[in-house]
Structure 1
Amino acid sequence: MKNTLGIEQKFAYAKEKYEAIGVDVDNALKQLKGISLSLHCWQTDDVTGFENSNAQLSGGIQATGNYPGKARSIDEVRQDIEKVATFLPGNHRLSLHAIYGDFGGKKVDRDQIEPEHFQSWIDWAKANNLKLDFNSTSFSHPKSGDQTLSHRDKTIRDFWIEHTIRSRRIADEMGKQLGSKACHNLWVHDGQKDMTVDRFLYRSYLKDSLDQIFAYKFENVKDSVECKLFGTGLESFTAGSHEFYMGYAVQNQIMATLDLGHFHPTEEIYDKISSLLLYTPELLLHVSRPVRWDSDHVVVLNESVIMLAQEIVRANALNRVNVGLDYFDASINRIGAYVIGARATQKAFLQALLEPINMLRKYEANGQYFERLALLEEAKALPWGDVYDYFCYINHVPVGIEFISEINEYEKQVTSRRI
């Protein structure tokens, strides 16, 4: 642990600097602690899951790299998540895909999954002070192909409709037992590789499938639908585009999921926040980092993530936005990737919470645009890093780069022995 006196002294200085421009640092830290990130279980095992040991990714899903030590069982996934939690200040959630069920070595097809296959996850989450979220899984299955819920074949559509209804039922049981509504995210890869003529037909099928799925009401679920620009091998047409799901979410008053990697490379999603919140009850975010395409790189503290957090805080929407992580990097230490991305996301929200928003709003209302821009620029250099160090310190997690040596030791003692 760093010198605690130094941490406290730096925090006191930082607090003084922020208070001089009207920022309540203690309140910012209180709000930050209330932001529960939904950690994504698939970072631990490269989106393999536990349906069978020879799973092959498909549907545009690809984890690149072969860094040793990935989780090979439910116990190892849980072991890794528990370790990650020791590096993150605050209380967080875990997002599961349907392929991560506790199937006991039995073959359970996706239209047959039940809450019982996830009861051990619920019990584990309760024991570890975690809440759970859930995702139906349309990819990596013999019936996936290029389309699922938008397929021309009704029997294929019916299979995936049943799977998704059952997934929502599982999410409902998670929310009920854990006392916190579970976000259920629906994303399907449906599309076509080349010039597509019957776009309206496929989207009509997708809408009809969604209507059947959401005809079932569950009290403990927050439903969300996730768009995408395109998928690998499905570059020319995506049935579930942003416009499609935005319209569906607004019409049916459910959440839209905004993934940082699911839009054009030059398009930022922060500006969509205030628009969608005027028409939908809540939003779900998948914080990721695209590199030229939806490559799901580890989240870093870049401008996209900072602007995203700023827009949420400026809109007073922390209680209406659910924040999930979504990346799967198999080229570096997976635990390290988890921690880097989660802490980067927290840092972005801390910076947003430390903005001198009252003074900025005053300048804007008065048409003082020079002063507004000057203050925005000066705020970038304020000692927010010392505030984050203090946040880690008072929450009893490693400060600064201390987590690096601890993760290296975990690798030495645990993950390097997974052969």
Structure 2
Amino acid sequence: MKNKEFVTKAYELARKRYATLDIDTEKAIEKLQNIPLSLHCWQTDDVTGLEHTENELSGGIQVTGNYPGKARNIEEIRNDLVKAASFLGGNHRISLHASYGDFKGEKVDRDQIEPRHFESWMKWAKENNLKLDFNSTSFSHPKSGELTLANPDKSIRDFWIEHTKRCRRIAEEMGKYQGSPCVMNLWIHDGSKDSTVNRLKYRSILKDSLDEIFSVPYSNMIDCIEAKLFGIGAESYTVGSYDFYLGYGVKNNKRVTLDTGHFHLTESVADKISSLLLFTPGIMLHVSRPIRWDSDHVTIVNDDTLDLAREIIRCDALDKVNIGLDYFDGSINRIGAYVIGSRATQKCLLQALLEPLEQLREYEADHRYFERLALLEEAKSLPWNAVWDYFCLINNVPVGEEYIAEVCKYEEEVTGKRR
């Protein structure tokens, strides 16, 4: 670290500046240190997975770009994940899709996966001080089609019910092994490209499928259900809409997953947090950057991400919100995409932790709205970036733009040699 003295001095000035507002930067740093992000494994290889079949991306999944160096096997995926995590302060998690099992060349269909196919992942995660989360994989399969868990065809529906049951069992074993509940997310692409006259029928089928899937209780995993506004090939109707999963989650005490790319672009996803916290046991966040649609661009520090972070902190909900990343950009250096998005999420959380919240609440309680707005504006230019640089310094990860050269070095020595 060539600017260690400069970073330390800048932090001391920032610490004193924040102290004038009764904000303890040391406490903010400590809290940030203990907020795990769940890094999505599918950024390494453009959602290809490890089933070694001829399955092409389907179910509305689309990755643009063909930047060289994507991971081609389980070893390269793991190496890339470790490298990406090395740029982050704190201890983090890895989110796996079911299609990333360690199948060792064996052809294992989705309704046959077992915990043994993920044992090496559990050991690898423990060796690298990481925890695992999990996702069922209903897309990119010959039986995906337009409908999976909402399919009127019982044979196809039963296939996906069995797959999802097995995913929950795998997540339970992961949670037991790592001594930390494994967050298991359920998302399906089911829907219709054009208008349907059977909205209730498909949602009724999906409800019954979910009831069967969740009939077995587990204590070492957390169920989450993820909605979507629309998808490619399902533009007119999505069975698992936000209203559907919100109702199901409230009724059945399930966490609802909020993916920032799965709503209308003018909707505030942050505004949903306080409502969900009143009626569901918690929330799973999938943080990405939608541009005109669910395009899964790399997360950056913008108003949407900042609003999410602020709402979590303002609701004192760090223990009820799991934060995962969910974007896949094949047009730029994939490790760089991880680092930009994950550090941006941490930067937003830090800014939220450094907000003069008690003073703002006092102004609001006294109806001093001018003072509230003025302080909100002035807080935007407080020296949070000096606190961020110091957080990176004490975690022995690159400060500021220093990570750019290290990512490029990894590309030169590792990913750039993949053909």
Q: TM-score, normalised by structure 2?
A: 0.99
Match of 1:36 in 2: 36
Instruction: Determine helix, strand or coil for the equivalent of 2:279.
Output: coil
Q: Which amino acid aligns with 1:379?
A: A
Match of 1:286 in 2: 286
Match of 1:377 in 2: 377
Shift of 1:53: 5.0
Aligned Cα root-mean-square deviation (Å): 0.6
Post-superposition Cα deviations, 1:135-158, rounded to whole Å, max 9, x if no partner, equal 000000000000000001011110
Instruction: Determine helix, strand or coil for the equivalent of 1:235.
Output: coil
Q: Which amino acid aligns with 2:69?
A: G
Distance 2:25 2:126 in 1: 32
Distance 1:125 1:229 in 2: 33
Q: Does 1:145 align with 2:116?
A: no
Post-superposition Cα deviations, 1:159-216, rounded to whole Å, max 9, x if no partner, equal 0000000001000000000000000000000000101000000000000000000001
Match of 1:116 in 2: 116
Post-superposition Cα deviations, 1:255-289, rounded to whole Å, max 9, x if no partner, equal 00000000001111000000000011111000000
Asked if structure 2 preserves the Cα contact closer than 8 Å seen for 1:25 and 1:354, the reply is yes
Count of residues in correspondence between the two structures: 419
Structure 1 gaps of 5+ residues are none
Distance 1:235 1:172 in 2: 34
* Correspondences of 1:242-321 after superposition (within 5 Å): 242-321=242-321
Distance 1:282 1:265 in 2: 24
Match of 2:186 in 1: 186
Asked if structure 2 preserves the Cα contact closer than 8 Å seen for 1:2 and 1:399, the reply is no
* Correspondences of 1:267-416 after superposition (within 5 Å): 267-416=267-416
Post-superposition Cα deviations, 1:117-136, rounded to whole Å, max 9, x if no partner, equal 00000000010010000000
Structure 2 gaps of 5+ residues are none
Distance 2:160 2:398 in 1: 44
Q: Which amino acid aligns with 1:418?
A: R
Q: Does 1:91 align with 2:91?
A: yes
Shift of 1:55: 3.2
Shift of 1:71: 0.2
Instruction: Determine helix, strand or coil for the equivalent of 1:278.
Output: helix
Instruction: Determine helix, strand or coil for the equivalent of 1:99.
Output: helix
Match of 1:167 in 2: 167
Shift of 1:2: 3.1
Distance 1:208 1:3 in 2: 59
Q: Which amino acid aligns with 2:78?
A: R
Match of 1:23 in 2: 23
Distance 2:144 2:233 in 1: 13
Match of 1:195 in 2: 195
Match of 2:55 in 1: 55
Shift of 1:379: 0.4
Match of 2:230 in 1: 230
Asked if structure 1 preserves the Cα contact closer than 8 Å seen for 2:152 and 2:202, the reply is yes
Match of 2:67 in 1: 67
Shift of 1:363: 0.2
Distance 1:63 1:206 in 2: 27
Post-superposition Cα deviations, 1:309-335, rounded to whole Å, max 9, x if no partner, equal 000000000110000000000000000
Shift of 1:15: 0.6
Q: Which amino acid aligns with 2:300?
A: V
Match of 1:127 in 2: 127
Distance 2:155 2:54 in 1: 26
Q: Which amino acid aligns with 1:57?
A: L
Asked if structure 1 preserves the Cα contact closer than 8 Å seen for 2:299 and 2:341, the reply is yes
Q: Which amino acid aligns with 2:415?
A: T
Shift of 1:218: 1.3
Shift of 1:254: 1.1
Q: Which amino acid aligns with 1:48?
A: T
Shift of 1:233: 1.1
Q: TM-score, normalised by structure 1?
A: 0.99
Instruction: Determine helix, strand or coil for the equivalent of 2:123.
Output: helix
Q: Which amino acid aligns with 2:8?
A: E
Post-superposition Cα deviations, 1:206-263, rounded to whole Å, max 9, x if no partner, equal 0000000000111111000000000101100000000000000110111000000000
Identity of aligned residues (%): 64
Instruction: Determine helix, strand or coil for the equivalent of 1:399.
Output: coil
Distance 2:223 2:306 in 1: 26
Match of 2:219 in 1: 219
Instruction: Determine helix, strand or coil for the equivalent of 1:146.
Output: coil
Asked if structure 2 preserves the Cα contact closer than 8 Å seen for 1:150 and 1:202, the reply is yes
Shift of 1:54: 3.4
Asked if structure 1 preserves the Cα contact closer than 8 Å seen for 2:55 and 2:142, the reply is no
Instruction: Determine helix, strand or coil for the equivalent of 1:257.
Output: strand
Instruction: Determine helix, strand or coil for the equivalent of 2:299.
Output: coil
Distance 1:249 1:362 in 2: 34
